[in-house]
């Protein structure tokens, strides 16, 4: 399954105490061969502040038989500034923990918050799931 999302993110991603915010585009990849619902997903995102996000998340479903599939998601993300390159992966200030709630099987929505050593962030995203 591939989920394409558009979202809005606001938070402190830099050590300079800058509060950045703006829209972003995200792709989430999930393997659904073991179960009919995605449990683990891998995320790639890019925002207008030129941050590339890499992430891994796990979902817990509240009611699997519910048609809206409400879930809670806990994930870890790394946000790399384009000028840092891959070396930003080893900096602890680029890593953050995200927790969110969402719903949807085909069309999805999710809101959540994150935290790292540079400060908190909030996000909201809406997307579409392509299942293969």
* pLDDT at 17 > cutoff 80: no
- Please tell me whether the overall predicted TM-score, pTM, comes out greater than 0.75 for this model: yes
Nearest one of 123, 128, 119, 87 to 19, comparing CA atoms: 119
Q: Give pLDDT tens digits for 23-70.
A: 999 999 998 766 778 899 999 999 887 888 899 999 999 988 888 899
Nearest one of 83, 81, 57 to 71, comparing CA atoms: 57
**CA separation, residue 24 to residues 16, 36, 38, 45 (Å):** 21, 28, 22, 7
Mean pLDDT of 7-35: 82
């Amino acid at each position: 399954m591939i989920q394409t999302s558009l979202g809005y993110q606001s938070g402190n991603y830099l050590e300079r105490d800058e509060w950045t915010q703006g829209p972003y585009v995200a792709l989430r990849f999930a393997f659904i061969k073991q179960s009919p619902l995605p449990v683990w997903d891998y995320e790639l995102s890019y925002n207008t502040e030129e941050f590339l996000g890499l992430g891994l998340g796990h979902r817990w479903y509240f009611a699997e038989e519910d048609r809206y599939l409400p879930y809670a998601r806990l994930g870890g993300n790394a946000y790399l500034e384009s000028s840092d390159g891959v070396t930003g992966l080893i900096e602890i200030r680029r890593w953050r923990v995200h927790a969110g709630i969402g719903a949807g099987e085909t069309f999805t929505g999710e809101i959540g918050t994150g935290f790292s050593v540079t400060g908190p962030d909030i996000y909201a995203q809406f997307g579409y799931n392509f299942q293969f």
